[in-house]
Structure 1
Amino acid sequence: MWNSITNLRLLSPSIPVIVKIILFFSTWIVVWLPAAIVLAIALKWHPPQPLGNKKLPLLASLYVIVPFILWATSWIENTSFTNWGWDWQPAVLMSLLRGLGLGIISLVILFGLQLTAGWIELQKSEVSTETGEKIINFWALILNPASLLTLLLGLWISATEELIFRGCLQTILQQDYSMLIAAAIASFIFAIAHLIWAAKETLPQLPGLWLMGMVLTLARIADNDSLGLAIGIHAAWIWGISTLDTEGAINPTGRAPEWITGIGEKPLAGAAGLLLLVATAAVLLGSSVLSVPNY
């Protein structure tokens, strides 16, 4: 087996990148399947049942093996994680924090404008002792243990997905394609991969997920080839939207059609969410650190 892997490393420069991508995902799924089957039996879940709260254990089992798959890929490709935009320099942490800030601000603007327009409303959950008016306590919503756990999970998921799609896949695809074509392909795979968890809910979000992938690729470019900014933005979007969804903090009012606010209450399945992505891209394009690296 070791000889086969060594031969694969020697042959790697001559293998078409599409074949490399197929091998990457095939290996990942084959390695994951035994654990997935055991978990599915333990959780008493089988397709086509909805995953519900069983999604997180299955997702965790899928992502926990990613470092090993990526390490093997980097060895075969004779490269390093640094070339994929991942390193442990302090500048990466600062970029991640800037990304978190940008992602959170973008969500505040998105939902703030919709609240102002009357397209959505707050799901009132607490009572003010002074006026008797029911209000929502945003600080309690953001700083409660469940929300902070969601932030940690969001950072893990975003770091994993960015290293895979904007790091490994993007870089490998650029061996045969231009940066733009490589980004389009990687973003398409990123969008399609979400179908594995909830196909019916994900289908209306596919254009938004593809555009999100393109914006996050732009974040890597804007961050001088580092994944820090992309991870931060991605994590903020996961954290913010998941927290609001879990807490039921907002509801559509019906004053705007679903194709504007989001089909199935999913922001990426609506025009407002797509505009959020376009606006984020505009901010990244206008960034003073924008450069186009030769990676």
Structure 2
Amino acid sequence: MNLRVLFELTVNTLRSFLENAPGLVVVTTFFILWVVCWLPMAALTVIFQNWQPNQPLPPQKKLPLLVSLYLLAPLIVWAVSWLTDTSLLDYGFITEVSMLGSVTLGFSLGVMSLAFVFSWQLWLGWCKFQEFNIKQILSITLPIFLIALFVGGVEELVFRGFLFTQLEQDYPSWGAAIISGFIFAVLHLVWEQRETIPQLPGLWLMGMVLVLARFADGGKLGLAWGLHAGWVWAIATLDTAQLIEYTDKTSEWLTGKNKKPLAGVAGIVCLLLTGVILWLGDRILHSPVS
């Protein structure tokens, strides 16, 4: 049996298996394919970096692994969509000018929501602004912006696009949102456990808010993509430039354990505030005109 025949047999078998499969089965298949296709790339990356299994992997060496994983994700989503005869439009991914407007609006909302939360923390004296580090922003803002757009786009396509849409076949929308948010949060443990565990409730709520953003955008991913990218850009910029220094005047469970906003009340307030804005916006845009 030559490679072409083997490939066609594999594709036909997968297509037949997934054709009438429940959404949860399609989701499981997606993650299996994603990991299986990524493992050879990860192995080559680790070998190239001369990493030993008994040694911790430094953060700078995790980046190539993360990039290869994220570059592969859209291809796997497309492959599963092709096998199940599903359009990317069903996942909320469109190539229209309106998508750019939604991304811009979401990005602005994400940045402003964090600016509001950090403003009252500064006012309360929970942290202070390091003015002398502001000059670093010019050199780092564009690279971080591009990374934020990339990470936000891939994660929204996977979790609020593909995953949520598939789960809606088996569960009501609220159930699909809860499950997809849980999977979104738990998978962050792959890269860092100690710092991620306190963030799990915040990550789950973040997933719920981003589903709400998709609803507010009429089922499209633009608003959720921009919102996600705005949060990533703002937090990464603050961390990289070290613009914020916590004063330890209050509990870190308020400001964020391990200096991670999602692991504290401040981050939860940011998410809840954003959720209320999205909910009100959705009600206004979709309310019947009398």
Aligned counterpart, 1:195: 189
1:111 aligns with 2:118: yes
Show structure 2 runs of 5+ residues with no match: 1-6
Counterpart among 73, 81, 101 of residue 80 in structure 2: 73
| Equivalent residues of 1:51, 1:197 under 8 A apart | no
1:57 aligns with 2:64: yes
| Equivalent residues of 1:103, 1:237 under 8 A apart | yes
- Pairing of 1:96-175 with structure 2 (within 5 A): 96-125=103-132, 136-137=133-134, 140-142=135-137, 144-175=138-169
CA distance in 1, matches of 2:140, 2:156: 24
| Equivalent residues of 1:222, 1:285 under 8 A apart | yes
Instruction: Report the CA distance shift for 1:100/1:85 in structure 2 as closer, same or farther (over 3 A).
Output: same
Aligned counterpart, 2:4: none
Counterpart among 235, 256, 262 of residue 262 in structure 1: 256
Aligned counterpart, 1:227: 221
Instruction: Report the CA distance shift for 1:46/1:118 in structure 2 as closer, same or farther (over 3 A).
Output: farther
Counterpart among 5, 24, 27 of residue 18 in structure 1: 24
| Equivalent residues of 1:98, 1:229 under 8 A apart | yes
> Could you list the runs of 4 or more consecutive aligned residues of structure 1 that deviate by over 4 angstroms after TM superposition?
none
SS of residue matched to 1:251: strand
1:185 aligns with 2:185: no
How does the TM-score come out when normalised to structure 1?
0.90
Instruction: Report the CA distance shift for 1:290/1:10 in structure 2 as closer, same or farther (over 3 A).
Output: farther
Identity, in percent, stands at 44
CA distance in 2, matches of 1:236, 1:159: 11
* Between structures 1 and 2, the one with greater helix share: 2
Shift of 1:157: 0.6
RMSD: 1.5
| Equivalent residues of 2:74, 2:157 under 8 A apart | no
Show structure 1 runs of 5+ residues with no match: 126-135
Aligned counterpart, 1:276: 270
SS of residue matched to 2:220: coil
Q: Which amino acid aligns with 1:8?
A: L
Instruction: Report the CA distance shift for 1:113/1:46 in structure 2 as closer, same or farther (over 3 A).
Output: farther
